[in-house]
A and B are shown apart, each in its own frame.
Chain A
């Protein structure tokens, strides 16, 4: 096979190169809606078998670990199941007595994170659940530790998640006791291993102690209230600022997230109780 020793670029090579460059620049300047449509079309067509292959591989990898875990939980589940019916009937009776409507539980869709090789993988993640599983745009994506991001694009069997590290991420946050509210967004002062969020817009007269857990406030109606986002690690308020700004260490590391839950029921109410253990736990670095 020829090694191509005379393979210096010809005029045709240069033309193809410049055309490819031009197309790349066109792709970069596409409107977000058209760009997402093109990317979604590729994921649904040429990339679909490869994403399915990655999904199956991830499922295979976790199946063994899940088997061991399920076996360990089985005995506990059997014991607990014996009490579930009794608790359910008691619960229903109490609700009837109080005249409250039976509240629906939090609906969620489990999914696996299909990590990619690009350096921007932490900003947007592909997950193995799409519209066929009930995922919808702007649905919150969480792990047991807290908020990972929200669904930005939905395909039939996969979805794209914009994580909290994405430059466009914004969320209304509050202290766990509801005393302080602010706007959460990625911090440019993040370090190499610790990507941080910042909590802007806190009134100057209000202080938030280091270590305070920050939750989603539910304002705006996109993200449900009460999902842990992270904890305060410091303040970066300037001397002449009119409001306080805090650095928040996120509860979830996008790079290490392997399994997530997509909240698919709008208006889940306050989810603080669902994350009760996580909210008090120090987030992972």
Chain B
């Protein structure tokens, strides 16, 4: 049990390191995968909704500290996404690769939607293109990265990738 916990946190730590190292090499900043959000969504797979909401708040606060143009909006968005992700997994229970990738996609898009609306910095065509083009692309790459991580570390994460 202790070894599983260490492995689990190692994967999350790896994702944090990836966020601050290779993310900038993965193409356009707007569509590169968000490893920090991915770490949060993976964390919610084994946590209660309350703990997931608190973790989301912390991740959001980190995001806000790095982009204070929308201070607080990131915390709000990540809190909601963390809570809903944990709650949704409990409701759906079908913890396979497809469902998880779908949840990552939806979580990323929802996070960007809330940040864009709550920050109040986007309007008109900027908002439309942010939500209909750039956010889906980022959600897609984040989901793809999530699939890769879940596949590579399937033994280390408490996620069942195949149906029994």
Report which A residues bind B (CB closer than 8 A).
Answer: 1-10, 12-17, 20-21, 23-30, 35-36, 38-39, 42-43, 46-47, 50-51, 53-54, 57-58, 61, 115-121, 123-124, 126, 153, 160, 162, 166-167, 188-193, 195, 255
Which residues of B sit under 8 angstroms from A120, Cβ to Cβ?
67, 69-70, 73, 115, 119, 121
Q: B63 to A117, Cβ gap below 8 A? A: yes
Contact (A13, B53) CB under 8 Å given A23-B75, A39-B64, A120-B70: yes
Give the interface segment out of B31-39, B99-107, B146-154.
B31-39
Pick the contact of A53: B17, B36, B71, B158 (CB < 8 A): B17
Q: A35 to B48, Cβ gap below 8 A? A: no
Task: Give 1 or 0 for each of B42-65: 1 = CB within 8 Å of chain A CB.
Answer: 000111111101101100111111
Q: In the complex, how many residues of chain B place their beta carbon closer than 8 angstroms to a beta carbon of chain A?
A: 78
What are 26 sample pairs from A and B whose C-beta atoms fall under 8 A apart? A3-B45, A8-B87, A9-B50, A10-B48, A10-B50, A12-B50, A13-B48, A21-B76, A24-B57, A24-B72, A25-B72, A36-B68, A38-B71, A50-B16, A53-B21, A61-B25, A117-B29, A117-B32, A118-B70, A118-B74, A119-B130, A120-B67, A121-B29, A123-B67, A190-B125, A191-B129
Q: B37 to A117, Cβ gap below 8 A? A: yes
Complex interface residues of chain B between 10 and 32 (CB less than 8 A to chain A): 16-17, 19-25, 28-30, 32
What secondary structure prevails in chain B residues at the interface with A? helix
Q: How far is the CA of A215 from the CA of B89 in the complex (A)?
A: 54
Instruction: Name the residue on B nearest A126 (C-beta).
Output: B66
The number of residue pairs between A and B whose CB atoms lie closer than 8 Å in the complex comes to 208
A215 to chain B: closest CB distance in Å? 26
Which residues of A sit under 8 angstroms from B93, Cβ to Cβ?
3, 5
Q: A190 to B126, Cβ gap below 8 A? A: yes
Q: A192 to B135, Cβ gap below 8 A? A: no
Q: A43 to B66, Cβ gap below 8 A? A: yes
Which residues of A sit under 8 angstroms from B46, Cβ to Cβ?
1-4
Q: B61 to A50, Cβ gap below 8 A? A: no
Q: Which of B69, B79, B87 has the most C-beta atoms of chain A within 10 angstroms of its own C-beta?
A: B69
